[in-house]
Amino acid sequence: MAENMAAAPAAEEGMDLAALMDGRARTYGLMARLFLKEVDKAALTELQGMRFPAATSSAKVDEGYHMLYDYLRTSWDDSITELAIDYVRTFIGHGVNGFSAAYPFESVYTSERRLMMQEARAEVLQTLRENNLKRGRWTEGEDHIALELEFMQRMAMRTAEALRAGDEDKAIEKLRTQQKFAQDHLLNWLPMMTEDMRRFARTMFYQGLAQLVMGYVEEDADLLEELLDSVEEAA
């Protein structure tokens, strides 16, 4: 995790695009980690030491950061247990149907019967393969929110590398890949999942995470569109 969280992304004239991609990668990486598993002591300590942006261009992102900050500044020894309980309540639940938690899989929200391992999982897996990304030790479905956010992190990192290498065509290709993935996947189900997060979560931490991820992905999608539009105008 990074010590400083990035603000909601915004394109400005004369900006360092590679640095912008670095910031995007850090934020996507952090969000992926928070969805992947419960917060442990080391993660909580690191989160408490972070500096969150005071204001961004997104009201949702601002609210998310404020809620995370408010929770972290008042956390205590039992917070790890409280967060672990809320993680299970929010993302796993206790029911046997697809309506008992904010299940972190795209298939649940895009399949008619709210089942896992459906078409969305196959599509994400194909995208990973097309971009030479291996699942490694990953044992869950590839359409898990953590893996989808990590995909955006990896693509942002590759974009930064291409920009620093002077390979503009490759950087544009990676931006287009991210734009398509955000539109086809993240924005296709995050509104529903984050709504469920706000319904099931009891801590301000996971309530804030819902606002942060939804606001950030929306703002980032606008950024990608703006960057690619500027490329087309310059062509």
Q: Say which range, 97-101, 123-127, 150-154, 231-235, has the weakest mean pLDDT.
A: 231-235
Q: Is the dihedral of CA 118, 150, 18, 132 positive or negative?
A: negative
Angle among Cα 210, 211, 213 to the nearest 5 degrees reads: 70
> What percentage of the chain has pLDDT greater than the value 70?
89
| Structural tokens at position 149 | 């956010």
Name the band, by pLDDT with cuts 50, 70 and 90, for residue 195. Answer: very high
pLDDT > 70? residue 157? yes
**What mean pLDDT do residues 146-155 have?**
96
pLDDT > 90? residue 162? yes
- How much is the pLDDT for 112? 76
Long-range pairs for 44-48: beta carbons < 8 A, 24 or more residues apart: 44/72, 44/75, 44/79, 44/80, 44/83, 46/1, 47/1, 47/72, 48/72, 48/73, 48/75
Question: In this structure, are residues 227 and 11 in contact, taking their beta carbons and an 8 Å threshold?
Answer: yes
**What mean pLDDT do residues 122-138 have?**
85
Q: In sequence order, what DSSP letters do the residues of 215-231 get, joined into one string?
A: HHHHHHHHHHHHHHHHH
Name the band, by pLDDT with cuts 50, 70 and 90, for residue 126. Answer: very high
- The residue with greater pLDDT, 85 or 118, is 85
Name the band, by pLDDT with cuts 50, 70 and 90, for residue 13. Answer: very low
**What mean pLDDT do residues 111-117 have?**
71
pLDDT tens string 172-185? 999 999 999 999 99
Domains of the chain, each with CATH number or no CATH: 26-234 (1.10.3480.10)
Give which of 50, 51, 60 is closest to 8, Cα–Cα: 60
Alpha helices in the chain (DSSP H): 17-36, 41-48, 59-73, 79-91, 106-110, 119-130, 145-164, 168-181, 187-200, 204-234
**What mean pLDDT do residues 42-50 have?**
93
Q: Say which range, 13-17, 24-28, 149-153, has the weakest mean pLDDT.
A: 13-17
- The residue with greater pLDDT, 63 or 141, is 63
What's the predicted TM-score (pTM) here? Answer: 0.91
